[in-house]
């Protein structure tokens, strides 16, 4: 089994979408470019959702137009529907992520649709995107617990995931949207998803509500997952999922895999620089641990 990890940075989208302070497009461009300079090769630059639903993501069109694209990097944007896809394609985005929930209540809160409506609508969006040559990722949110319904039947995650893959998504990202999955639950869910779809098709998207995200990443890795999401500084959360904390911090994940001699190809220190700059711009608290460690060693000249 491959030791290589692919890391997928969601900070400029999931990280910023729940912040009180709205970052201007020019700063969002700087953020994306800083993360890419650190070695990130998959990055979500923003979303094309309704600006009334998520005002923080207004201006993603400007971000997409202004970023200086680096060869070998996949720049993704989140789209909820056909209108979002059109907005993305109008500004040259060629990697899009669609999303829906494993549970009915969260899907309605987040997308104003039933799950069956979303499956139908996203099937069309994926088909249209593929016919235009785009690559599509599909999130299945609330895969390990729902803020409204509690426990989730993982069979539903697999059913929805299979439909989205059949429609043409390149891979799934299983979202622990509110960070309630326990290590045994995450391990079992990943085992079943890997068995059903294969390693190339499964990513894990952890929110770190209870400080268990790194443990969950580790058990998922032991099951064979090789694609992990994270957000710089541990920012983020879904505005329509009460109780959702930030994503697992990218720099902590990268450090974890580096400690295990697993190749990630990203400099955790350079991610910390971006996290500190963002903290100063937005006033959030960096929730990961590695930045503190790195800063202490940098200050003592012991890097």
Residues found near ligand HMG in the complex (CB under 6 A): 14, 17, 47-50, 53-54, 80-81, 83-84, 87, 99, 110-112, 139, 141, 175, 177, 205, 207, 238-240
Strand-pairing partners, residue 137, are 97, 171
CB of 177 to ligand HMG, least distance (A): 3
**DSSP string computed for 260-272:** TT------HHHHH
**Helix, strand, coil abundance in the chain, percent, nearest 5:** 45, 15, 35
Largest CA distance in the chain: 57
Reference 226, options 194, 195, 258; nearest CA is: 194
**DSSP string computed for 149-198:** TBS--HHHHHHHHHHHHHHT-SEEEEEETTS---HHHHHHHHHHHHHHH-
Active-site residue, from 146, 190, 238, 291: 238
Using CB distances below 5 to 8 A depending on partner kind, what does residue 60 bind out of Mg ion, ligand HMG, none? none
**Catalytic residue check, 238:** yes
Which is closer to ligand HMG, CB of 106 or CB of 226? 106
Q: How many residues bind Mg ion (CB under 5 A)?
A: 1
CB of 178 to ligand HMG, least distance (A): 8
Q: Candidates 12-20, 180-188, 258-266, 294-302 — which segment interacts with Mg ion by CB under 5 A?
A: 12-20
CB 199 within 8 A of CB 225: yes
Q: Candidates 7-15, 95-103, 113-121, 186-194 — which segment interacts with Mg ion by CB under 5 A?
A: 7-15
Give the side-chain half-sphere CA count within 13 A for 200.
Answer: 3
- Using CB under 5 A, pick the residue from 9, 14, 30, 208 that binds Mg ion: 14
Using CB distances below 5 to 8 A depending on partner kind, what does residue 118 bind out of Mg ion, ligand HMG, none? none
CB of 11 to ligand HMG, least distance (A): 11
Question: Catalytic residues, which ones?
Answer: 238
């Amino acid at each position: 089994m491959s030791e290589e990890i692919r890391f997928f940075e969601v900070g400029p989208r999931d990280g910023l979408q729940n912040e009180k302070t709205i970052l201007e497009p020019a700063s969002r461009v700087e953020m994306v470019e800083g993360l890419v300079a650190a070695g990130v090769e998959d990055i979500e630059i923003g979303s094309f959702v309704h600006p009334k639903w998520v005002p923080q993501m207004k201006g993603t069109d400007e971000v997409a137009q202004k970023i200086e694209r680096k060869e070998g990097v996949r720049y993704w944007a989140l789209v909820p529907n056909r209108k979002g896809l059109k907005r993305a394609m109008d500004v040259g985005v060629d990697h899009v992520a669609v999303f829906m929930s494993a549970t009915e209540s969260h899907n309605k809160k987040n997308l104003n649709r039933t799950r069956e409506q979303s499956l139908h609508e996203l099937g069309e969006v994926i088909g249209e995107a593929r016919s235009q040559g785009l690559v599509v990722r599909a999130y299945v949110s609330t895969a390990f617990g729902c803020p409204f319904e509690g426990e989730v039947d993982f069979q539903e995650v697999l059913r929805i995931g299979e439909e989205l893959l059949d429609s043409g998504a390149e891979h799934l990202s299983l979202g622990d949207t509110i960070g309630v999955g326990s290590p045994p639950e995450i391990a079992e869910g990943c085992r079943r998803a890997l068995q059903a779809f294969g390693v190339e098709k499964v990513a894990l998207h952890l929110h770190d509500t209870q400080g268990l995200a790194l443990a969950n990443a580790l058990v998922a890795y032991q099951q064979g997952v090789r694609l992990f999401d994270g957000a710089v500084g541990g920012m983020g959360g879904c505005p329509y999922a009460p109780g959702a904390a930030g994503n697992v911090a990218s720099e902590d994940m990268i450090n974890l895999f580096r400690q295990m001699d697993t190749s990630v190809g990203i400099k955790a220190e350079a991610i910390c620089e971006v996290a500190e700059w963002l903290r100063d711009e937005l006033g959030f608290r960096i929730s990961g641990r590695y930045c503190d460690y790195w800063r202490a060693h940098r200050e003592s000249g012991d890097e």
